[in-house]
Amino acid sequence: MTPTSTATRATQTAGVAYAGGAYLLWGVLPLYFLLLAPTGPWEVVAWRVLLSLLFCVILLTVTRGWQAFGAIVRQPRLLGWTALAGVLIYVNWQVFVFGTLSHNVVETSLGYFINPIMTVLLGVFVLKERIRRLQWVAVGIASAAVIVIVVLYRSFPWIALSLTVSFGVYGLIKKKIGPAVDAISGLTLESFWLIPIAVVQLVLVATGSGLTMGANGAGHAVLLALAGVATAVPLLLFAAGTRRIDLTVIGMIQFVTPVMQFIIGAVVLGEPMPIERWVGFVFVWVAIAVFLVDLVIATRRGRRNGRSKPI
């Protein structure tokens, strides 16, 4: 084995570890947010925004990233994209925390199961990409799953679809601005744009039910204060992983999160899973299986074509 291949193998291993760590942390987030009771979703997300910003400012200082941050701030186009990304990730955070604290963790897992299909559709209709036949089959089955859940379970999965759309479009924007905005600077700006929303939410909660920060003991205050770290760390691990491994590998690893969330909701928290809901999830899992088979076939075909090219 040559030094180059050894370095490549080490880079890929590190990438899998980073990405896997991110998805594992996202998978257990429902349990973390449940520990924050009696803090409600509006207060949780407000602290999440403000403390994420504080954590990112510290990281920028430690990593000496202010010069790169300043270069981004001087580009109005990038500022606009980060503002839009901030709004989308805010919607995602708010819906996710609301779903978790209202005991709808199973439905949040459904949203992240469907997310890869949403990514494919955005590629087709926004980026004008062409997709393969099996990918269309997966899209069709996933669409049927949503219809089954609406008709048989008699409940529109708005939490799942909101998570799917918000995170899917957020990913599209991150892809559009690409390497021009590094992970720490991007999250710093996204959190910065959300300061007015976070402040308004805290004021409304304070004048209503009252803020819980510091009112439920030191342990609860520490857990709530760690919301910024719990938000930023998986995003930074994810960014580190995507720089080191192919998106195909990322696409397969990402199902760790919804699987963990589904187990937490259905098994640990005992959320209802009537037969109608099981049917819908089985449709989703079949769509995912088709999606993964297509990824494997495409990857193998690409490797064969690469080896067959003349040197």
Q: What is the pLDDT of residue 311?
A: 44
pLDDT digits (tens, 9 = 90+) for 3-30: 555 557 777 788 888 888 999 999 999 9
Are the C-beta atoms of 271 and 104 separated by less than 8 Å?
yes
Residue 303 placed within a domain: no
Residue 135 placed within a domain: no
Q: What is the pLDDT of residue 225?
A: 93
Question: CA-CA distances (angstroms) from residue 274 to 29, 154, 266, 271?
Answer: 25, 12, 11, 10
The Cα–Cα gap between 24 and 19 comes to: 9
Residue 236 placed within a domain: yes
Closest to 157 (Cα-Cα) out of 210, 204, 109 = 109
Cβ atoms within 10 Å of 19's Cβ, excluding its own: 26
The Cα–Cα gap between 137 and 58 comes to: 46
Residue 72 placed within a domain: yes
The count of structural domains within the chain is 1
Please report where in the chains the tokens 């949780």 appear, as a residue: 44
Decide if pLDDT at 187 tops 60. Answer: yes
Residue 137 placed within a domain: no
Torsion of CA 222, 227, 232, 237, to 10 degrees: 70
Say if pTM beats, i.e. exceeds, 0.95. Answer: no
pLDDT digits (tens, 9 = 90+) for 138-163: 888 888 888 888 888 778 899 999 99
Are the C-beta atoms of 139 and 121 separated by less than 8 Å?
yes
Are the C-beta atoms of 255 and 119 separated by less than 8 Å?
no
The Cα–Cα gap between 269 and 35 comes to: 13
Residue 291 placed within a domain: no
* Top-ranked range on mean pLDDT: pick from 51-65, 154-168, 246-260: 51-65
Omega within 30 of 0 (cis) for the link into 38:
yes
Q: 96 is in which domain, residue-wise?
A: 17-120+157-271
Mean local confidence (pLDDT), 168-189 = 85
The Cα–Cα gap between 109 and 259 comes to: 7
Mean local confidence (pLDDT), 222-246 = 85
Q: What is the pLDDT of residue 229?
A: 92
Instruction: Report the alpha-carbon angle 306-309-311, nearest 5.
Output: 115
Query: Which of the four pLDDT bands, split at 50, 70 and 90, describes residue 1?
Result: low
The Cα–Cα gap between 265 and 279 comes to: 17
Are the C-beta atoms of 160 and 108 separated by less than 8 Å?
yes
Residue 277 placed within a domain: no
Residue 2 placed within a domain: no
